[in-house]
Amino acid sequence: MSLCSGPVNRAKIWSIAASDCSAGAGSQADLTMARALDTDCATLICAITAQNSQGVQAVEVLSRAMLEQQWQSLKADGWPQAIKIGWLPPGNLLLPWLLEKLQEYSGPVIWDPVLSASQGGFPQANWPKDALQALLQRVDVLTPNLAEAQALLTLLQPQDDGGAVQNDYEPSDYELGHCADISAALQVLGVNHLLITGGDSARAGSAESDEWIQDAFFAAPSSASGSAFGDQLPGPDLLRAFVFRHRRLPLKVHGTGCHLASAIACGLAQGYTLYDALSRAVAAVRLAIRSASERANGYHNAWARPLNESLAEDWPQVVPVQQRASAVHFPRLPQPLGLYGLVDSLPHLKRLLALGIDSLQWRVKSPGAEHKAQTAEAIYYAAESAVPLFINDDWQLALELGAFGVHLGQEDLLTADLQALAEAGIALGISTHSDWEIARARGVNPSYIAFGPVFTPLSKVLRYQPLGTETLALWVERFTDHRLTCIGGITTANIAQVMASGIDSVAIVTELADDEALPQRLANLRKCIPALEKRCGVPI
């Protein structure tokens, strides 16, 4: 390992927040999270607080002149890639000034609207309504808990005018339907992306909410255009309302909201898409909770750690808002997929079976009139050879023919009848290309997850950049709770690098093409992937 000779050109964020002398929240939390995520963080302090694990004892707001001096000092060193905002003083002192300053800045803004400290002590928010709504329209990602989201609506819509969500839910009542209602009302007021955190909420008597934290995300339908994220947002064919689910830890921890918002800012500053930045931030906060610094009264300080220290359980699952729990479970594969070939013709399939392929995917991009009959034959021949065969995309045909498995892309997850597939005992594989897509795949408990592309694909053009073997190795080490495979540009020349990542399966298209040199190429691939044991004519 070589020593850094510096300087390092790091992504940079600004934190606009209060100072927490106990270092659990505020600007101190932003600094520690940014350091853990290898991001440069500059701070604009709007208030000095005296606080500890018991609560906030005193708040002294800095003058507007001092705020202006800090802004100009930071600006002289260059704009950041993202700005994170935390607690803002009530009244007119800061908010109109901040709105004016943000007009100079074109990058993403993330706001954790701290309306009160968890232990109490902050003055009640009473911002001017017009300024508050203007800030909501400027902010790109808003990250309140449920009580804070309701309070924002109360500030903006104190009377029931027919469109307001009434503030009549208990803060502990984390019903996703309520979150959806609140989101719709906030979107009308100009909120583009809303993440309502669920760590402070649990429904009384619900074993599910005792076990799981649910952070509900909503993207306004029009937010894909004209936002600070440009083309980073997923298209309309992916989920625009979903829940991050992660297992609750039996700890009471201070500063999680600050850590979350600053982690989102760090992810965006480093160039991650919004959905990936959100996924990484949720994982970073869970890791910070798991690593919390002890306080005597049991209300501990979150402690940010580098994401490479995270475990699979730290990373969230993604499920649609209407999916209340992990409703589907697909068969577990008793063995790795090994050498996994993709084929589109029966002669090619038969030849690979004869050569001892471990697993197969039936991927016919332009099916003809005989497609159904050919698919049935493919299923029969693979079963005779005890080789698992996954039907690509066509889940209806897989159900009809009783296939061993089906392989789906991310878009297919929106339309496939996953419940029917699971009840039929059909194995499921899912393509993933990013942190969020892995979270989405894990949310349906598939039989395997496919990472890709590892290298530039040889068989088709993808909009995703190659992962490389370093990211592949990181994912293989992290996501040990599922069978894994990988795909994209894998050949006899680079398969050794791929297998060095620790993965036990590779999916290959071009290098297993049906030509005269196929037996030799397959034998060369076999040098890196030992053949799997077949089981008495029954697909493994």
Distance CA 282, CA 443 (A): 15
- How many angstroms separate the CA atoms of 509 and 343, rounded? 7
- The Cα–Cα gap between 453 and 466 comes to 5
Section 299-308 average pLDDT: 94
Q: Which of 287, 320, 353 is the last residue in one of the domains?
A: 320
pLDDT for 114: 84
**Do 237 and 288 have their domain in common?**
yes
Mean pLDDT on 16-39: 95
359 part of a folded domain: yes
Dihedral of alpha carbons 336, 341, 344, 348, sign: negative
Top-confidence residue, 293 or 459: 293
pLDDT category, 79, cuts 50, 70, 90?
very high
**Domain span at 383:** 338-526
The yes-or-no verdict on residue 188 having pLDDT over 50 is yes
pLDDT at 236: 45
Do 377 and 288 fall within a single domain? no
User: 311 with 379, same domain?
Assistant: no
**pLDDT at 124 (0 to 100):** 65
Task: Please check whether residue 26 lies inside any domain of the structure.
Answer: yes
Q: What CATH code is carried by the domain that includes residue 459?
A: 3.20.20.70
Q: Do residues 28 and 58 lie in contact, with contact meaning Cβ atoms separated by under 8 Å? A: no
Which residues, other chains included, contact 389 with Cβ-Cβ below 8 Å and sequence gap of 6+?
359, 360, 361, 362, 378, 379, 382, 383, 403, 404, 405, 539
Number of structural domains in the chain: 2
pLDDT at 538 over 80: no
- 175 and 226 share one domain: yes
Given this model, what pLDDT does residue 211 score? 83
pLDDT digit string, tens, across residues 251-297? 899 899 999 999 999 999 999 999 999 999 999 999 999 999 999 88
pLDDT value of position 297: 87
Does residue 5 or residue 473 have the better pLDDT? 473
Question: What's the whole-model pTM score?
Answer: 0.91
Which residues have CB under 8 Å from 367's CB, separation 6+?
Answer: 394
477 and 514 assigned to the same domain:
yes
CA–CA separation, 15 and 34 (whole Å): 10
Burial of 64 (0-12, 13-18, 19+ CB in 10 A): middle
Cα–Cα separations (whole angstroms), residue 500 to 143, 358, 366, 486, 528: 40, 19, 35, 13, 9
For residue range 446-456, list pLDDT tens digits in order: 999 999 999 99
Do 241 and 269 belong to one domain? yes
Average pLDDT over residues 132-137: 94
For every residue of 327-389, DSSP letters joined together read: ---PPPPSS--EEEEEESSHHHHHHHHHHT-SEEEE--SS--TTHHHHHHHHHHHHHHTT--E
CA distance 359 to 340: 5
DSSP bridge pairs for 145 = 197
Please check whether residues 278 and 394 belong to one and the same domain.
Answer: no
Whether residue 2 is contained in a domain is answered as no
Q: What is the largest CA-CA distance in the chain?
A: 80
Return the higher-pLDDT residue of 493 and 537. Answer: 493
Question: For residue 387, what pLDDT band results from cuts at 50, 70 and 90?
Answer: very high
Other Cβ atoms closer than 10 A to 243: 25
Within this chain, do residues 123 and 159 fall inside the same structural domain, yes or no? yes
Residue 136 falls within a domain, yes or no? yes
- Give the full edge-to-edge strand order of the sheet including 40-52: 55-61, 40-52, 12-20, 82-85, 109-111, 141-142, 193-196, 212-219, 241-247, 317-320
- pLDDT above 90 covers a percentage of the chain that reads 71
Cβ pair 535, 388 in contact under 8 A: no
Angle between helices 371-384 and 346-355 (to 10 degrees): 10
Whether the per-residue pLDDT at 162 is higher than 50: the answer is: no
pLDDT at res. 19: 95
Polymer length in residues for the chain: 540
**Model pLDDT, residue 204:** 38
Within a domain: residue 327? no
The beta-carbon contacts of 71-76 under 8 Å, at least 24 apart in sequence, are: 71/44, 71/101, 74/14, 74/42, 74/44, 75/104
CA-CA-CA-CA torsion sign (251, 256, 257, 261): negative
Rounded mean pLDDT of 365-384? Answer: 95
User: Could you tell me the two tokens for 304?
Assistant: 């940010």
Q: What is the rounded radius of gyration, in angstroms, for the C-alpha atoms of the chain? A: 26
Lowest-pLDDT choice from 43-47, 224-228, 342-346, 420-424: 224-228
* Helix spans in 212-330 (H): 256-269, 274-290
Q: What is the DSSP code (8-state) at residue 529?
A: S
- Closest to 316 measured CA to CA, from 458, 195, 490: 195
Residues 75, 206: one domain?
A: yes
Do 312 and 374 have their domain in common? Answer: no
pLDDT given for residue 314 in this prediction: 95
Residue 214 is inside which H or E element, if any? strand 212-219
Q: Is 372 within a domain?
A: yes
pLDDT greater than 80 at residue 225: no
Answer whether residue 149 shows pLDDT above 90: yes
Give 187's contacts (C-beta < 8 A, 6+ positions apart).
194, 218, 220
* 96-110 tens-digit pLDDT: 999 999 999 999 999
d(CA 217, CA 153): 17
CATH number at 211 reads 3.40.1190.20
Tokens of 36: 């853990």
- pLDDT value of residue 85: 98
- Residue 186: how many other CB atoms lie within 10 Å: 23
The last residue of one of the domains, among 320, 346, 367, is: 320
Residue 399 and residue 312 share a domain: no
Which pLDDT band holds residue 168 (cuts at 50, 70, 90)?
very low
Q: Is the residue at 367 inside a domain?
A: yes
3-state DSSP assignment of residue 238? coil
Residues 118-125, mean pLDDT to the nearest whole number:
59
Give the mean model confidence (pLDDT) for residues 207-225: 74
Average pLDDT, the chain: 88
Residue at 369 is within a domain: yes
Instruction: Supply the pLDDT for residue 56.
Output: 87
238 φ/ψ angles, rounded to the nearest 5 degrees: -110, 170
My answer on whether 95 and 181 are in the same domain is yes
CB 193 within 8 A of CB 142: yes
Q: Tell which of 251, 286, 320 closes a domain.
A: 320
